[in-house]
Structure formats: C-alpha cells, structure tokens
Amino acid sequence: MEKLIITAAICGAEVLKEHNPAVPYTVEECVREAKSAYDAGASIIHLHVREDDGTPTQSKARFEAVINAIKKECPDVIIQPSTGGAVGMTDDERLQPTELHPEMATLDCGTLNFGGDDIFENTENTIRYFGEKMIERGIKPECEVFDKSMIDMALRLAKKGYIKSPIHFDFVMGVNGGISGDLRDFVFLRGSIPADSTYTVAGVGRYEFPLAVAAIIDGGHVRVGFEDNVYLSKGVLAKSNGELVAKVVRLAKELGREIATPAEARKILGLA
C-alpha cells in the first residue's frame, strides 16, 4: 500500500477566530500553522489566504507573501493554493494564485448550495477555463468534488482534454448542500473514480476522523485542518493544525500505514 499523504487545510475562507482563536489570518500566523502541520507529518499545505482582519482574498501578492514565508520554514512542503476563493468572486480573481505557478492547485468541479442564499458557482465553462489555465501553467489540479456528479463532470472534461489524467480527487464530504460524510457515501465516491486515480478525503466537522480512518484503511489519502474542523475531539478545540495532523499520524500508525514525506508525495501524485 502507498504511504499516506496528509494535507493540512490550515485556514479556509470561512472559519473565524471566533470558532477557534488559533485560526490564522496574518502571514506570521499562517507560517506558524503551516509549520505545526508540516512538523507533525503533513506533506501538503492547502492554502487560502486572508487579510490581517480575516477577510478572504485571492490577491496574488498576498498568496506570494504567505507562500514565500512558509517555504522559508518548510522548504520542501507542497503548497496547494485554493482557487475556490469565496462566494461572489470572479473566475479571474479566483485564479490569481495560479499565476505563481504552484505545483498543485484546487479545481472545483461543480456548483454547490452553501446554505441560505449562498451559491458556490462553478459552471461547466468555469471548470473548463480553470482546467485550461492549469494545463497552460503546468499545475496539477486537485479536483474538488462535493458530490458524485462532480466526479462525472471531471471525467467527462478529462476526456475532452481540459484535465490531465491520472486525476487526483479530493472528496469533500459533510458540507451543507453536498454529499454526507457517511461511510456508505465514501464507498460510493471511492467506487466511482478510475483505477489509476488517487484521492484524498476531507471530512467536515464530526466526519473528519472517521473518514480519515476509512481512507487510511482503503489506501487513499487524508486532509485535515481548521478549514474543515476546529476540534480535536468532541468539545475540545484543537490548539493547532499540527494537533489535527498528529492525530491522523497516530491513527495511521495503529493501522499500519506509513506517512509520506513531501518527496514521496510528489512521486505518488506524479509531481516529481
């Protein structure tokens, strides 16, 4: 079985210090949280950036500042910028971090109701455009799927040349408006991707660690972090992203799965 790649989604665009005081906003706070996750065993830092007051931004300059600062502390870590941005941003605004030519970036593969009147819009034309830009800029996409139909969209666009194969998927499970985090639904998504694909599971809230265990056993990979969940266990706030990563490392050790280094993660994902 391949070694386990752990991704740390250190801040997201929506979670706030009101939810957990350790959620990072500033450059220095992002470095602190990235390093805590890296030191604990994460090979990939999934990155959103904020202004110092917590406002989400897709500013190329802000991404560059945070990425450079993280790289000084964690030179070999894989940094995966989000192109999701925040609800209401334009396509080109969301794509700004790809102008920095990172190794990976996220590619959301469908539209989602986020609750209330919020719609996270990703039309087919948007997905094609993002896919073309990532191919042009030499970036491997992580195809973010919140439901089975988004897997189908990714596979269809891959056949048309907008996404290169083999595809790396991220099953984001338990989000309001998307597929649940039940084991039944994990098995459904897992069985819907090609044999040569790789995948990561990001369980939201209480689904984070049960789905991590499922992925560890199955041979997939795991994402944890404040973007998805701020608790180490029920009612106990995590002190850092590193605590969440360390819990996955302990679970993997108990289940006999070794942890991938960034260099090993690059080989598994075809980045090296």
DSSP structure class, residue 18: T
Residue pointed to by tokens 């995590």: 238
pLDDT in tens, 49-93: 999 999 999 999 999 999 999 999 999 999 999 999 877 889 999
Helix/strand/coil (H/E/C) assignment for every residue in 36-49: HHHHHCCCEEEECE
Each residue's pLDDT expressed in tens, for the chain with a length of 272 residues: 899 999 999 999 999 999 999 999 999 999 999 999 999 999 999 999 999 999 999 999 999 999 999 999 999 999 999 999 877 889 999 999 999 999 999 999 999 998 788 889 999 999 999 999 999 999 999 999 999 999 999 999 999 999 999 999 999 999 999 999 999 999 999 999 999 999 999 999 999 999 999 999 999 999 999 999 999 999 999 999 999 999 999 999 999 999 999 999 999 999 98
DSSP per-residue codes, 126-171: HHHHHHHHHHHTT-EEEEEESSHHHHHHHHHHHHTTSSPSSPEEEE
Total number of residues shown for the chain: 272
- Name the helix (H) or strand (E) containing 63: helix 60-73
Element (H, E) at 112: strand 112-115
Q: What is the structure's pLDDT at 48?
A: 97
Counting runs of H as helices and runs of E as strands, what totals does the chain give?
Answer: 9, 14
Q: In terms of Cα–Cα distance, which of 179, 249, 265 is closest to 212? A: 249
Please, which residues have CB within 8 angstroms of residue 13's CB and are 6 or more apart in sequence? 48, 50, 56, 82, 84, 85, 86, 227
What pLDDT does 249 receive?
98
CB pairs under 8 A, 24+ apart, for 215-220?
A: 215/186, 216/4, 216/248, 216/251, 216/252, 216/255, 216/257, 217/255, 218/190, 219/1, 219/2, 220/190
Q: Which is the CATH superfamily of the domain at 6-269? A: Aldolase class I (3.20.20.70)
- Quick: pLDDT tens for 112-146: 998 788 889 999 999 999 999 999 999 999 999 99
pLDDT given for residue 115 in this prediction: 79
Alpha-carbon span 49 to 259, nearest angstrom: 27
- Tell me what pLDDT residue 87 has: 79
Choose among 44, 14, 195: nearest CA to 112: 14
Mean pLDDT (the chain) is: 97
Q: Is 186 exposed, middle or buried (0-12, 13-18, 19+ CB in 10 A)?
A: buried
